[in-house]
Every structure is written in structure tokens, then in C-alpha cells.
A and B are shown apart, each in its own frame.
Chain A
Amino acid sequence: MSAVATAGRTAEGRSWAAAWYGLLVGGMVVGLACFVYQWINGLAVTGLSNTISWGMYIITFMFLVGISAGGLIVAAGAELVGSERFASLQRLAVLLSGTAILAAAISILPDLGRPQMVWRMLRQPHWTSPLIWDVIIIGVYLTIALIDLYILTRPNPKPGALRTMAFFALPAAVLVHSITAWIFGLLVARPFWNTALMAPMFVSSALVSGLGLLIVTAHIVDRTTEWEPDRDVFDDLGRLMVWFIAVDGFLLFAEILTTYASRVPDHLKQLNVLLIGRLAPVFWAEVAIGVVVPFAICASRLRERRGWVVAAGALAMLGVFAKRINIVMTSMFMPLVGLAPGIPGGRAGQEFAPDPIYIPTWVEAGILLGLACFIGLFVTLGVRYLVVPERRSTG
């Protein structure tokens, strides 16, 4: 892990670096191989079925879109309010955002049954589909990140340029999360998704996880390279985290309370799955590690210790991941027409599944590993060639 540290400096460093790159490239090869395997054999090699027709790929997609928020919002937000506080983080932040959104875009491909046909979305886009809008906004968002990165890595960045970009970046960020949220939120078929709070919740969770990612990566890069963020930045990030988590936690609470109070049977059933049913462990983990603990850390004096802030950041990210799982799975577990014998499994030998379970397979794991390695590689290279040089030049 500490390979980036001294990348290319010492002999020992070189071999660490080689190992790290080897690991990442190896992981990507595995992921690619899995993808090819899946392409040939179809999504039958996943744990998905007609009932739980969306799984880890979509969860990962949502998560990646989410964590892409942190970077740009922090960078742009700082720019807009003219805060110098996070200036030292800007390049890293933008790099993370760009990578995450790129990875998010890629993560859609393995979820498609016929990836070779994806171009049809461009040939004949169907404008009522949130998916089309999401593709567009992801493209826009990625472009903004690239432009930002370009601006930031110019030897003499034009002072106003970033600020101008921020005017685009912020709304784009809000939109990318909202539209992703609406992919789910606009479905009448899914009472648990079909809530007005879906978009705000997505934005708030995105902020939490994005910030978490930034904190954790900043810490690692700081430890392993000569790049150094400003001294107080972790404390500041922690402070920010308090607010983000507070809002996110509040929205979650509001959503659950409203669902509960509505007493609509469909909704209640789904809520039960979450609160006391099969997803309860994941849900309460989400609450504990995603809300309570990081909030407690960041709102208390523990925040002054960097290690705690980093831990809070990591936990918050995990919590949001759990939340993504919950959002997707609650609805998938509970088809609206739930009478026996349920929805046909989808493959030979699979009976009707009144009570489906979803266990991701090694293929899904492999592909996601590949994606993670891709992110790792991208960030490593970015840090090495774009972020670290900055420090060297300015510091």
C-alpha cells in the first residue's frame, strides 16, 4: 500500500511500486477476464435472478456516482465560497471525482445483458428514461472533472477559471446524484424508492461518502508520498463531515418515519424487511457505522486526532455502501405482486422464487475487483503525475 510512497525513489521503493502496480494490473486482468467470461455466458454467471434483477453492479454504480461527489463539491464549494482551506486538496479531490465517475460509467457495462448494443442508447435515446439523462449528466460531470483537472495542473492556473467552472460543477454534481436517484425514485413499482426524498438523500449520502473517500485517500497519499495537505485540513474535513452526516442521518430518519407513519401496507412491508427482516443486519450496520459512530467521532474532540477522522471517513464510506445495498435490495426483495409462487427464477433448474436470495458470485466479485484496481491504478498514476508534482513544485 505504501508503494506510492517512494515510487521510483529507492530500490526498495521500486520493488514496492512494482508490486503495487502488479497487483493493480493483475486485478484488472482478473476483472477483465471475468467480464469476458460473463459476456460469453451471460449474466447467468451472476447471482442475479428475475426477482433480484439488479445487484452488486448497480449498487457499485450508485456508490461510485456517490463518492464522485465529494471531490468536486469540496473543490468547487471551496472555490465558490472563496475558501482557501481546502485549496491544498483540490487536485486530489478533482482526481478522485473524475476517477470515480469514470469508474461509475464503466460499472454499468457489466450490468448490461448486451453491452455490444449500448450504442443504441445514443442512436435512439428515449428521452423519458432517466437512464439517458444519467448517461448525459455523467458525461458532463466527467468533462467538468477533466477540465478542472486540466486547469489545476497548469503551471499557472488562471485564477478565475476554476471559479467559473465551479458554477457548472456544483449544479452538475447535484444533478448527477439527483438523476441517479431518480433512476430509482421515479419508479411507481418500487414504493421504497418512489419517494421525493430519494434525490436529496442521494446528494447527502454522496457528500458523506465522497468526503469519506477524500479523507481516507488524502491520509494515505500523505503517508506514502511527499505530498502533504494543510495541517488542519483533516480537522476541517471532520467538521464538515459532522454536517454532512447530520443531514444524511436526518433525511434517513425522516424517510423512515414518513414511511412508518404512512401505514401504507406495501411500504410497511418493505420497511419491515429493513428494520427487522432479512436486511436488518445491513441496515443497522449502516446506521451504526455510517451514522452514529462517525458522527460521534467527528462531533467530539476525537476529531482532533487525525486517525479518528480517517477512521470516521472510512466508516462513513462503508456505511453509505451498506445504504446502497439496502436501497437496492429492499425493493428487489419485495415485488409488489408478491403472491406465490412468485417470479420465475429465470434459468433452467431454477424454480419460481417466492423468497429469493441473492448471493453475488465470484464473477461479480472478480469484475468489481477489476474495477477497484482500475480506480486504484488511475488514482495512483494521477497522484504520481498530477498531485505529487504539485506539492513538489509549490512546496
Chain B
Amino acid sequence: MPVTRRQFLAGAGATAGVAVAASATVLADDVGEEPSPSLLVDKIVRTTCSPNCTGSCGQLAFVRDGKIVKIQQAADYPDPVYSPRGCMKGLSYHLQIYGPDRITTPLIRTGERGSGEFREATWEEALDHVASEMKRIGETYGYDSIHVFGQVPGSGYIQKGANYRASAVLGMSHGTSFDYNGDLPMGMPITFGVQNAEHEAKDWANSRFLLVVGANPLETRIPDAHFLFDAAANGARIVVVDPVFSATASKADTWIRLRPGTDAAFALSVANVILREELHDEDFLRTYTDAPLLVNESTGKRLREADLRPGGSPERFVVWDPGTEAPVTVGIDRLGMPRGVEPALVGSYEVSLASGATVVARPGWDHVRAEIETWTPEAASELTGVDPDVIERLAIAYASTEPAAILMGGGSNHWYHGDLTGRAYALLAVMTGNVGRSGGGFSVYVGQYRVRVAAAPWNFPDDIHGPIVSTIYWVTGPTDTMHPSVPYPKDGFKALFLTFSNFLLQSPNINQVYERLSEMELVVDVDHQMTETARWADVVLPAATWYEKWDLTATPLHPFLQLQQPAIEPVGESRPELWIWAELVRRIDPEQHATYFDGWDEERAIEAILAAGDVEGGPTQGVTLEQLKAGPVRLNVPDPDVPFLAQVQKLAPFPPISPPSPIEATQVFLPTRRIELYKEEDRFLELGEQVVTFKDPHDDGVHDPAEYPLTLLSPHSKWRIHSTYSNNAWLEEIHGGRPQVLLHPGDAAARGIADGDPIEVFNSRGSVKAWAHVHDAAGPGTATLPEGWWSRYFLEGKGVNELTSSAVNPIHEVWYVPNMWAPSTGWKDCRCEVRRA
């Protein structure tokens, strides 16, 4: 018989002697409650952990005497599989709030930049100073010379949105984050025409085969990693492809060690076997993709109806109907093929044009097929180091298990040619029909980038769009191949305004970044930790943390909209970004302030966003602020949230919309409105990338592999979110606070390096000194130094980004839609050498 609460507590009385239980207080007695054996609290506030993480985990802040004394997961998801979420970092955020590196007042630089010498200032003084400088710079060079950078929006639509709003109304250049972070998986817009599209995490459990590539969910998706085990318990097999024996590899059925940067060759060889075994889904290819569309052999461009007959549409494409042995045209408003037509996927056909000429044309798939056929497992094995036999078995298992999912991460994407890698894995999903179905898919899990609400009215009020310039151009300046629509300021950039980012640590090719920095007449950083970036700023403004302010958040990993709600008063003088911007705009342009900031607080902004999305089929249909205050609310999305359902089930054309861009902006990526395996834009043709292929890593052409034989990998660390939590006292106790470079024993021995030795990692761009960790877990020819360590933990140097590259891939410049088709950084595309320090 189960005991009642009363019986149970009756027994409890006897423990008075237990010190830990002896904390019952009189107060509780006063209110006639049973004494609590726990220390009492004033209140518990539900909020959301919001570093640049993607976890977006609901947390409870336990407040006693105005201080947060415990943070614990809210575990209140309406879908219990998502509870509790959260990780050790989120649970220890109060150490950041009250820690020694917390910035509590505005600071104005007194010494050299980077000297760390500041004086404390009042808000009044700091804001006046910043505003007058911005005004001066704005009036001298144009406001677009001020580059405002804030990180990915998902972790705070309101406060980060305030960056956008202020930039828009003042005309400042807003930077980009998703592409700058190297997270924008360019294979997605190229293939599917979307910014990105991933299955919600719980859908992993519905899969029967999980191919995890370049992702380490055990460390970088801690709240969701368990869905892998749920899948395994349901009978799924897990295969992990990683050059390093990652934590995730330790849980795999099979771990495939691959040479870094060779994913595309690997995936193509898998496709090779699938094709050879005829395990591909031709029907899917015909229905949803550009595979049957004919490509003019002589121009490399697709044939259009307009080519076939005068007055034909340039937006209708041509397939070959083997039944009638004639071309048939297909439109772009619906997927599928005309009734009764089963178009050719291979072969070469003579088509007569309106001009009277006859051209040879081949279906797009025939081009893809030809490429795939060159990538036999043996051929790929040379590059990837993967045993051909393993590729054979993997390909057959993947293609014959349904549904099968590919989960890709930064490790595969953070390459100059990450787009080719993405296209190659996407090809596997597409050719096996694993698109738009639960348990399948090709999902790239990267940053918390996605705008899942109707944020436009907040970010761009009255449809005012300020210039948005990919931040990589702030670093490199305009490239020769830059898309003409990039609004690069005519006199270049003169000021840098940073929020939510440890920009001067987390940027690529950091020494180049510092050179750029020296050209800035004003550098402002808004943060609540005294980071490397704050140390280099002219003015540091103390930000409130997500336990001290309101915001609205969402992530691609789960479909719940959540609030940040203040649990405590901001520590010291710290303030939310919206307040900071309002004060700055008021000083710079009182009129704009009156129109766009005055009277706007966070709650009003949230309501505006909710209202804008509260339309039939809108993301926040029926969602209210009151609901959100009580807990997470599911966005208006399918359950499970699987992308491309409308396309696959209802034959709606690709691409679905990628908020916040209007559909027109992204539709251009896919002139065929189908999944595109063949690209016809000139630059693809020039670079020989019209169909997916493999190319050597870019840095191999910068650093001679003979001189710099090691690939420097900088994955994300379990112990930090990028650099956030670097300085967390509890976590430091666990990991020891020593940056280690993982080296293979063979590579280490060849350089006389032993485990624990201080070593220098260097290339032509920079160098950093840390400690060697020599172990078989490392891939031969790799050096792994996780990103994010604060500089002060190194023996010498700023960090791993002294070595990384800021190279821009011209393919990423074929179009320009910020954060959607823009240069994606290749962090892992980096050669180096190491020596004993």
C-alpha cells in the first residue's frame, strides 16, 4: 500500500539529529505549513538558459534574499521526452552571475587598447560618450560605417532584436552571425533552397539508422543526446563518422575514422555503392528533384520551355519522356511529373530548339550519376582512409534501413568546401528518399540561428531594413567575388559595436581581426563577463544576464517557445540591451527614439512578435504572453517537427520559407523549385561544382601539407559554450583548466612530444602554446584544440583562432542573403605544425 504524504512525513520528524535535515525554519511554521527540511526560498522563477548553445533549456532560478542560490531545470515540457533538458553548464550559471569576472559598471578605457586599464563610469557618462562618438562617426563616414555585431537571434529575439532595430532606424550596418559562425550549411540553400532545415531532436528516436557525421551530440547536444539511446533501444543502429574518437563515437555501434575534410569523397563513395546496388529511389528523384530536368550539354544550363518554342516560359523546365521519345515541360508551381510521364534520369537526348538548332541534353541526374560513378569505395578510400569494405557495408545498411537519418554537425560543415560536404550527404538522403519523413532526413545541427517567430515587426519596424553586411567582410574587406548587393560601406568600417559575443576570441584568423580592430575609431562591447573582447574595447557596457531580464527564445532542436524572465535585479549597474539601445538612440536621434524606442519594453515587444505570428498557420498562432509566463509553449509546427512535409506530402514547390527572409529572397536559390542536385549558375560551372564533387581542403593550397602536415581541428568543448563558462569555478575543478591539444601518438613521437608537454601549435597566421595530450583517440595527422578557451588559460597566444582561416568561398557569394546564402567560415579547414615549446 502506498504511503500518504502525511504518513511519510510523520516518520520524518525523527530526523532532527541529521544536520542536513535540521534546517526547518520557524517561518514555515508560522504560516501553518509543515516545516520544510530544506532551506526556504523567496520564489522560483522560470526562465531559459540562453548562451549561444542551441539547448534552449528551461531553468528554474531559486531565489533567496534576492540572490540566485540554485539553478535547476524546469523540466516542464508538455512533451515529457524533452524534460528535463539542461546541462552542467546551465546549472552553474549563477557562478557566472556572481563570479569574479562579472562586469558590474560601465567602463571607459584609460590605457592602451587591450591593456585592461579602465575606469568605472556612470551610465550617463558612458552613454553620452558612446552616443557622441557614434554620432560623430555616423555623420563623418555614414552610419553604415558602424558595424553592429550580435550573435544568433534564437537565444533572445527581443534583446538581440534590439540590435537590429537600432541598426535599422539609425542606418548602421548590422553584421551576420550564422554564416560568420561557419554554421550556415551552404549545402542546404544550394540543394533545398533553405537557410537550413532540421528535424526536431526527438525525431531521432524514430529513426532506425542514424549516421552521425562531424557532430558530437554527446558533448554539444547534451540535452538531446539521449534521443540516440532511445533510437538504439528501438532497434536503431548508430554509426559515427569522425576523425577523432569522440564521446559520441564511444556510444556508436560503429565508429568510422575518416581523414578530416574528406566527407564529400566519403559520402560520394557511399552513393556509389547505393547506385551500384540499385538501392536508390528513382521515383523520389523524379518527383521531388531536378534529376530528370534536361541540361543543355553545350551551355551547362537547363533547357527551358522558352528554348523549345517561341513564347515558351523561361520558368518551365524540360524532361525527356522515353514513352513518347519527346521532351515534356514541367512547371515550377507544383512538384511531381505530368500524369503518365516517367522521365528519363540517364542518357543523352537530342532536342530541337526554337532557334532550329538541335542540342544534346542530358538529365541532371546523369551528370550526378557520372560523378558518383567515379567515386568507387576504393578510389575514395585513398582520400578518406576508410576501408572500402566498411563503405560497402555502410552503404547497404543505410540504404536498406528505413527510415534512416543523417545528422551532420559543425565538424563536417566548418570547412571551406563544407557546401560540397553538405551537398554530398544531402544527396544520400535524397537518393534514398529519406526527405520529409519522420525518422529520416538530412539534418545539420549547428547554431541557435533560426528565427522561429514573426520577428520582423520588432527587428525592422515599419519595414525599415538597415544594411546587413556579412561580418566576414568586416574582417577581409570586400572580396573580388563579393555579390554586388552586399551593402559594403563606401569608406569601409570605422566602428565596431559588439553584443552577445566574445568576438575577439571567437572570430577566424584573429590576428587579421586585430589588424582590422586597429582601424576602428570606436569599439564598444556589451557583455557581463570581462572577456578578451571586453578587455580590448574602448567602452564596456555591463549587460544583464538572462536571469536579470526579459526575452523570448527558441531553438531548432525543440519546438518550444520560451521566455527569459528576470529572477533577480541586475547585479551592479548592469542593464538589458534594449534599455542600452533606447538610451543610445535617444542621445543620437531623439526623433527615432520617440518613434521606435520610447514606450517599448520587452513585454510589449514580445506581444508584438506574438501578435504578428498569430495568424492562420503562423508560428505563434494562439500563443499568448500569459501562457509563456507559465512555461514552454509549442510553436505551431507539425509534431514531430519534420521539414519539407508540405513538399513531400503535398507536392508544394521547394523551398519552404526561411524566416525572416521573404520567400522571394530565397526562391532564387532554386530556379527549378525542386531539390537541386545540379546547379547551373555560372560560378558553379566555372568552378566545376555544378554537381557535387570532392575538392581538397582549401588550406592545403595555403599551407603546404609537407611543411604543415597536421590538420588543426577546433571542435566545441563539452565544458563550455564557446568561451562562455571558460571561467566557471565548478567546471574548472573538473576539467582542470588546462587547454590540451590532442595528438596521435605517432605524430607526437615523430616530434619528440610526450603527453603533458608544453607545445606550440603554429602556422603562417599565428601560434598558440598549450599542453599536449597524446592519445590514440586522435586521428593520425590531426591536432585537436577545442575552441573557446579564454586566452588567459594558454601558456601563450590568444587561442586557436590565431591559426584559423577567414578565406571566403566564391560559391557562397553566388547570391547574397545574409545568414542564408553568404560566406560560411571554415574553422576546421586549417593546417598547422606543432613543436615542443
Seen from chain A, the residues whose Cβ lies within 8 Å of a Cβ on chain B are 341, 344, 351-352
Contact = CB atoms under 8 A, between A and B. Distances in A.
Interface in B735-769: 736
A352 B736 CA distance: 8
Max chain B CB contacts within 10 Å: which of A341, A351, A352? A351
B198 to A, nearest CB: 34
Interface in B762-798: none
A344 B730 CA distance: 12
Contacts, number: 7
Nearest to B729: A348
B734 interface: yes
B139 interface: no
Contacts of B491: none
B616 interface: no
7 contacts: A341-B734, A344-B733, A351-B733, A351-B736, A352-B733, A352-B734, A352-B736
Contacts of A351: 733, 736
A209 B733 CA distance: 43
Contacts of B736: 351-352
B598 to A, nearest CB: 48
A243 B733 CA distance: 53
A341 B733 CA distance: 10
A64 to B, nearest CB: 33
Interface string B169-207: 000000000000000000000000000000000000000
A350 to B, nearest CB: 8
Nearest to A351: B736
Interface string B710-747: 00000000000000000000000110100000000000
Closest 7 pairs (CB-CB, A-B): A351-B736, A351-B733, A341-B734, A352-B734, A352-B733, A344-B733, A352-B736
Nearest to B736: A351
A235 B736 CA distance: 59
A344 B734 CA distance: 9
Nearest to A349: B733
Interface string B138-157: 00000000000000000000
A352 B733 CA distance: 7
A351 B733 CA distance: 5
- Taking chain B's interface residues, is the majority helix, strand, or loop, or is none over half, making it mixed? helix
A49 to B, nearest CB: 14
A391 B623 CA distance: 103
Contacts of A341: 734
Interface in B23-39: none
B250 to A, nearest CB: 14
A344 B732 CA distance: 12
A351 B736 CA distance: 6
A346 to B, nearest CB: 11
B555 to A, nearest CB: 31
B658 to A, nearest CB: 44
Contacts of A344: 733
Contacts of A352: 733-734, 736
A266 to B, nearest CB: 26
A197 to B, nearest CB: 39
Contacts of B734: 341, 352
Nearest to B733: A351
B819 to A, nearest CB: 40
A114 to B, nearest CB: 13
Contacts of B733: 344, 351-352
B667 to A, nearest CB: 53
A344 B733 CA distance: 9
B444 to A, nearest CB: 33
A219 to B, nearest CB: 51
Interface in B415-431: none
A57 B588 CA distance: 71
Nearest to A344: B733
A343 to B, nearest CB: 12
A341 B734 CA distance: 8
A144 to B, nearest CB: 37
A310 B733 CA distance: 52
A387 B291 CA distance: 110
A88 to B, nearest CB: 56
Nearest to A345: B733
A200 B734 CA distance: 43
A351 B738 CA distance: 12
B380 to A, nearest CB: 37
A347 to B, nearest CB: 11
B383 to A, nearest CB: 36
B729 to A, nearest CB: 8
Nearest to B738: A351
B98 to A, nearest CB: 16
A351 to B, nearest CB: 5
A351 B734 CA distance: 7
A124 to B, nearest CB: 11
B692 to A, nearest CB: 43
Nearest to B732: A351
A302 to B, nearest CB: 49
A262 B82 CA distance: 50
A340 to B, nearest CB: 11
Interface string B314-329: 0000000000000000
B793 to A, nearest CB: 14
B334 to A, nearest CB: 59
A351 B732 CA distance: 8
A252 B633 CA distance: 71
B38 to A, nearest CB: 24
A341 B732 CA distance: 13
B728 to A, nearest CB: 14
B18 to A, nearest CB: 15
Nearest to B737: A351
B732 to A, nearest CB: 8
A341 B736 CA distance: 10
B83 to A, nearest CB: 29
B588 to A, nearest CB: 47
A344 B736 CA distance: 12
Interface string B211-238: 0000000000000000000000000000
Interface string B513-555: 0000000000000000000000000000000000000000000
B88 to A, nearest CB: 14
B762 to A, nearest CB: 29
A32 B736 CA distance: 37
B485 to A, nearest CB: 53
B99 to A, nearest CB: 14
A395 to B, nearest CB: 62
A211 to B, nearest CB: 47
B718 to A, nearest CB: 14
A352 B737 CA distance: 12
A123 to B, nearest CB: 13
A198 B701 CA distance: 70
A353 to B, nearest CB: 11
A341 B735 CA distance: 9
A185 to B, nearest CB: 31
A352 B734 CA distance: 7
A345 to B, nearest CB: 9
A195 B736 CA distance: 37
B362 to A, nearest CB: 58
A351 B730 CA distance: 10
A185 B736 CA distance: 35
Interface string B391-411: 000000000000000000000
B719 to A, nearest CB: 13
A20 B736 CA distance: 50
